[in-house]
Amino acid sequence: MRTFDLLRAPLLGRFLRWRYSRFVLQLPLLLVAFLALYDGFFGRQLAPKNFATVSVWLHYRGFLVLAIAVFGNLFCAACPMMLVRGPTRFAKRFLPQFRWPRRLRNKYFVIALTVLYLFAYEYWDLWASPWLTAWLIVGYFGVAFLVDAFFPEGTFCKYVCPLGNFNFTLSTVSPTQITARDPARCLTCEGKYCVNGRVETAAGRKTAREAGPAEGIRYPGCETRLYVPEIKTNMDCTLCLNCLRACPYDNVALRPRFPGLEWLRARYRLDVVWLGVLLFFAGFMNALGMVPAYYRIAEGLSRLLGTRNEAVLLLVIYALWIGLGAGLTLLVATLADRLSGVRQTAWKAVRYWGTGFFPLAFAMWAGHYAFHFLTGWATIVPVTQQALANLGLPVGEPDWTLAALVPENWLYPLQVGILYLGLLASSYVLFGRARQRDHFLAGGVVFAYFFMLVALALWVLAQPMEMRGTLLLPPGSR
């Protein structure tokens, strides 16, 4: 007896199976991107009163974690940047085509880009600048176009896009996953169409490679090269549902699942685990960057190093924190290995125990984003009104007092709840892995480390907020 298949649910299933369902999901986000560009470039340069900053830094991020928690990687499915696909298919006819370098076919390049992006976010205060936010959108579309024009489809999503890879990593907590309805059917599939694409030509059914430029109805396969019966994780799945349309045997399902099984069974590569570790520590840093302790650390570091150069100070803080996180993780994972009687390299130890960081990384970001989203969710109404009014549309007077979704005193308990749930999910992974080795204490050591990190995160979230763009105060202003 197999579980429920969302692709066969009465209305939702019919919509998801529809050829243009992805386009329908992309279209609203494309319109949002256009409005964000317009307001970002031409609207008032005040972050809480500009559609670009409110939609990108408040609602996009808030809805993203919500969608991942209750459904799956919907925001990759609805990614408007993939609408560059039409122009790039045309451009590909004239441009030379390259293969993505083998050395970069992992998550290390994405890790580097993510660190660069987080540095840029803090250094240029992207959240406070509608103009820079608009340029970020332009840049994102531009890079998506360039990578897609010169490299195979899916390269951008899998190896370049920091946002997509953020979604991939966090969607390991999602309650749904693409799977084969009947894995046995895939064994006799002649073309593995879900991954290779399907072309129905006059001469019969072919894979995209076999068909070449031949005329026919084309159903592209998985852009990130996932073979449906072998999918054990949501990592790299954009939920584009190409597999569903490419499979001639209607053998693709989107099933509810218990994500804990993925964390226990999937064998993530080391680079994937490091991405999860990075996202936790980066999420922590992102929250820490909004409390007074962070500025005190920066002031202290400034005195110690004798510099007021914010780029240098930020680089040092990031390098120290992420370096400390990576080092401690290596140390604790190795210690847990030794305790369980396993002697292997520290990297392998991280690969084994580091999986526990996935739910914790989700909880860290979800807790932080939930705060911003819930405190300011209704601000989207007046900023949209104002942006549309700037376009000359009669939308009434914006009410700037619209803001919070829940009373302020609910926020911290909610964040505590999210982080404890994350810790609970992590402990399931850690003790599950410890049980596989029949050594409970090994899991306990890593759990103690995670508990300390969560306690630290809760302390950060409990601090009064300080929303400042400058790392150091001008001399004499305190």
Place of tokens 């998506």: 144
Residue 364 beta carbon to another protein: minimum distance, rounded to whole angstroms: 19
Q: What are phi and psi of 395, to 5 degrees?
A: -120, 10
Place of tokens 């240029």: 124
Residue 379 beta carbon to another protein: minimum distance, rounded to whole angstroms: 5
DSSP 106: S
Residue 125 beta carbon to another protein: minimum distance, rounded to whole angstroms: 7
Distance of CA 117 to the CA centre of its chain: 13
Nearer to another protein, 307 or 375 (CB): 375
Amino acid identity at 17? R
Distance in angstroms (rounded) separating the CA atoms of residues 167 and 53: 20
DSSP state letters, 231-280: --SSTT-----HHHHH-TT--EEEEE--HHHHHHH----HHHHHHHHHHH
Q: Which residues contact 398 (CB under 8 A, 6 or more apart)?
A: 381, 382, 383, 385, 386, 389
Nearer to another protein, 212 or 474 (CB): 474
Nearer to another protein, 83 or 405 (CB): 405
Among 326, 330, 331, 389, binds another protein (CB under 8 A): 389
Place of tokens 């400034």: 302
Find, among 427, 457, 459, 456, the residue nearest to 443 by Cα. Answer: 427
Residues 11-50, mask of contacts with another protein (x by CB under 8 A): ---------------------------x---x-x-xxxxx
Distance in angstroms (rounded) separating the CA atoms of residues 281 and 450: 12
Residues 208-247, mask of contacts with another protein (x by CB under 8 A): ----------------------------------------
Nearer to another protein, 229 or 367 (CB): 367
Nearer to another protein, 142 or 204 (CB): 142
What radius of gyration do the chain's Cα atoms show? Answer: 23
Nearer to another protein, 127 or 284 (CB): 127
Residue 372 beta carbon to another protein: minimum distance, rounded to whole angstroms: 5
Place of tokens 């991954």: 195
400 binds another protein (CB under 8 A): yes
308 binds another protein (CB under 8 A): no
Nearer to another protein, 189 or 388 (CB): 388
Residue 53 beta carbon to another protein: minimum distance, rounded to whole angstroms: 4
Residue 370 beta carbon to another protein: minimum distance, rounded to whole angstroms: 12
Nearer to another protein, 53 or 177 (CB): 53
- Residue 237: both structure tokens together: 């799945």
Nearer to another protein, 335 or 402 (CB): 402
Residue 244 beta carbon to another protein: minimum distance, rounded to whole angstroms: 36
Place of tokens 């819930």: 374
330 binds another protein (CB under 8 A): no
Q: Which residues contact 283 (CB under 8 A, 6 or more apart)?
A: 361, 364, 365, 368
Stretch that binds another protein, among 92-100, 137-145, 268-276, 461-469 (CB under 8 A): 461-469
Nearer to another protein, 218 or 468 (CB): 468
Give the residues across from 205 on adjacent strands: 200
Whether 280 contacts 453, CB under 8 Å: yes
Amino acid identity at 359? P
Q: Which residues contact 147 (CB under 8 A, 6 or more apart)?
A: 155, 156, 160
120 binds another protein (CB under 8 A): no
Residue 232 beta carbon to another protein: minimum distance, rounded to whole angstroms: 38
Residue 35 beta carbon to another protein: minimum distance, rounded to whole angstroms: 11
Amino acid identity at 13? G
Residue 42 beta carbon to another protein: minimum distance, rounded to whole angstroms: 6
Distance in angstroms (rounded) separating the CA atoms of residues 441 and 459: 27
DSSP 97: -
Residue 86 beta carbon to another protein: minimum distance, rounded to whole angstroms: 16
Among 348, 390, 412, 432, binds another protein (CB under 8 A): 390
Nearer to another protein, 122 or 262 (CB): 122
- Residue 438: both structure tokens together: 């029949």
Whether 30 contacts 36, CB under 8 Å: no
150 binds another protein (CB under 8 A): no
Q: Which parts of this chain interact with another protein (CB under 8 A)?
A: 38, 42, 44, 46-50, 53-54, 57-58, 125, 127-128, 292, 372-373, 375-377, 379, 389-392, 400-401, 403-404, 464-470, 473-474, 477-478
